[in-house]
């Protein structure tokens, strides 16, 4: 079984309140970017002594296998249903600590894939509950469609948001952002504009209204990321913002931007939205 866990961007992210359980209530729009993906292979190995064997290529972090969300997904799901012994190989292409949800996507796709090949499958509703135990963004990747999200990000309402015909450019400077630290430095507050309503306005009207509250904190720590956002606007973006807690910044364009020289030293991904 070969799967393609894709990235996401956040269009707007309001940190509304700090919760008693240590998490934060947010509101955001999760938008899947299906052109940028990792490659995940899951193979049933009947006589394998280990229940799950993991290997990885591509972008690498020096972390033990048991810390990878694919392995955690297997172990978590096996506490609910019986799973066959498998070998999992992940080819990593989505940058780490980039606000693109790569790890969460890998974990969620592993859950869905394993659930599909098991003899006794969990319902989608139950799988969403299990995914939340893996990570706050994981339930979104079970649905993997544009959603308005609230709570920790797990209360998901699919929405119709067409960006068809726009061009998206994502720029990552290779700075790894610690999400917990970014949250700890933030100042939660009720949003001025209701994102669920504002998002349906023309994207050319989003600038200054559809905001990411993490930008104030992250740009102060890493001014280079703020400069990327300014550069995207100078190139003609109709809207630009940081995704998640960073460090990736994306821009929406009416036509294909000439970005190769401007961002030659960065990890970039370009796609026309269909």
pLDDT above 80 for 94: yes
DSSP for 154-172, please give it.
Answer: TEEEE-----TT-EEEEEE
* Residue 174's pLDDT band (cuts 50, 70, 90): very high
8 is known as an active-site residue: yes
pLDDT above 80 for 199: yes
* Residue 63's pLDDT band (cuts 50, 70, 90): confident
pLDDT above 80 for 274: no
Q: Any idea where the domains of the chain sit in the sequence?
A: 2-158, 167-272
pLDDT above 90 for 85: yes
Q: Is the CA virtual torsion 194, 196, 197, 202 positive or negative?
A: positive
Residue with tokens 């796609």: 271
Q: Active site residue: 8, 72, 92, 229, which one?
A: 8
Q: Which two tokens stand for residue 224?
A: 């280079």
H or E element that contains 128? helix 124-134
CATH number for the segment(s) 167-272: 3.30.70.890
The percentage of residues in the chain with a pLDDT greater than 90, rounded to a whole number, is 87
DSSP for 48-76, please give it.
Answer: -SSSEEEEEEES-----GGGSHHHHHHHH
Mean pLDDT confidence for 54-83: 93
- Residue 33 makes CB contacts below 8 A (sequence gap 6+) with 6, 7, 8, 9, 100, 168, 170, 269, 271
The pLDDT value given to residue 219:
97
> Residues 149, 29: contact at Cβ < 8 Å?
yes
The mean pLDDT value of the chain amounts to 95
Phi-psi region of 84 (alpha: psi -120 to 50; beta: other; left: phi over 0): beta
Cα angle vertex 65, ends 63, 70, to 5°? 110
Mean pLDDT confidence for 36-57: 94
Question: Looking at domain 2-158, which CATH architecture does it have?
Answer: 2-Layer Sandwich (3.30)
Q: Active site residue: 38, 72, 92, 137, which one?
A: 137
């Amino acid at each position: 079984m070969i799967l393609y866990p894709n990235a996401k961007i956040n269009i707007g992210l309001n940190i509304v309140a700090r919760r008693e359980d240590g998490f934060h209530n947010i509101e955001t729009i999760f938008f899947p970017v299906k052109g940028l993906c990792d490659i995940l292979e899951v193979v049933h190995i009947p006589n394998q002594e280990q229940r799950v064997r993991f290997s990885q290529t591509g972008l690498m972090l020096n972390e033990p296998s048991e810390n990878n969300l694919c392995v955690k997904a297997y172990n978590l799901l096996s506490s609910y249903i019986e799973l066959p012994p498998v070998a999992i190989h992940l080819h990593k292409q989505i940058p780490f600590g980039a606000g693109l949800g790569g790890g969460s996507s890998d974990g969620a796709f592993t859950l869905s894939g394993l659930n599909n090949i098991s003899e006794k499958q969990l319902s989608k509703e139950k799988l969403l509950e299990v995914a939340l135990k893996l990570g706050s963004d994981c339930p979104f990747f079970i649905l993997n469609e544009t959603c308005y999200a609230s709570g920790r990000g797990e209360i998901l309402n699919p929405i119709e948001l067409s960006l068809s015909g726009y061009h998206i450019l994502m720029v990552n400077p290779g700075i790894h952002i610690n999400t917990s630290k970014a949250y700890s430095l933030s100042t939660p507050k009720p949003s001025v504009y209701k994102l669920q309503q504002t998002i349906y306005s023309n994207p050319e009207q989003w600038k200054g209204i559809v905001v990411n509250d993490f930008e104030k904190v992250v740009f102060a720590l890493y001014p280079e990321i703020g400069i990327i956002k300014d550069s995207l606007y100078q190139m003609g973006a109709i809207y630009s913002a940081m995704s998640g807690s960073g460090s990736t910044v994306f821009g929406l364009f009416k036509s294909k931007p000439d970005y190769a020289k401007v961002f030659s030293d960065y990890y970039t991904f370009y796609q026309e939205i269909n």
